[in-house]
Amino acid sequence: MEFMDEISRYASDLVEAIGPSGMGAFAFTSVDGKPYLTDAHAGTLCMEHFTKLFHEMYAKNARFCSWNFYPHPGKDVWTLWTRLCDRNIAFMPGKSNRGVFPLLFLKNTTATLISIGVDDAEVSLLRSQAENVM
């Protein structure tokens, strides 16, 4: 079973068991290639919602993952974007079907990226390549 399929199954089981009446999100992390639930957000709109909306709008049939990181002091989103483009791993909505895109970038504070690919292996590879340009 692929990593994201396993997360989907866990999340579906959780939703069925708790029967939420509003929005929320689950946060999973990977340990030795296995997903582990690390957090649950109830009743709030989270970055995960925007990530999923982006995925649905621009890469509905692709695999994806998103993650947060702390940008190096002084680095801005244009530096990151230029590096992604220079390495041919930038996702360009409406133009490409794979790559990495900065969903959120607050200079010197936090950033959220999304990696989009045809399968989990490509998503993981793109994430790794993106982390090397930061």
Residue 118 has pLDDT above 90, yes or no: yes
Please state, in angstroms and rounded to a whole number, the distance separating the CA atoms of residues 37 and 11.
Answer: 9
Q: Please name the helix (run of DSSP H) or strand (run of DSSP E) that holds residue 26, with its range, or none.
A: strand 24-31
- The DSSP annotation for 23-49 comes to -EEEEEEEETTEEEEEEEEESS--HHH
Residue 1 has pLDDT above 70, yes or no: no
Residue 46 has pLDDT above 80, yes or no: no
Segment 93-104 mean pLDDT = 95
Residue 45 has pLDDT above 80, yes or no: no
Q: Are 89 and 130 a contacting pair, CB within 8 Å?
A: yes
Q: Give the CA diameter of the chain.
A: 46
- Give CA 82 to chain center in angstroms: 20
Please state, in angstroms and rounded to a whole number, the distance separating the CA atoms of residues 104 and 91.
Answer: 14
Residue with tokens 């993952």: 65
Strand 34-42 versus strand 24-31 pairing type: antiparallel
- pLDDT for the residue 33: 85
Segment 71-90 mean pLDDT = 95
Q: Where are the domains of the chain?
A: 1-44, 46-134
Residue with tokens 């530096």: 79
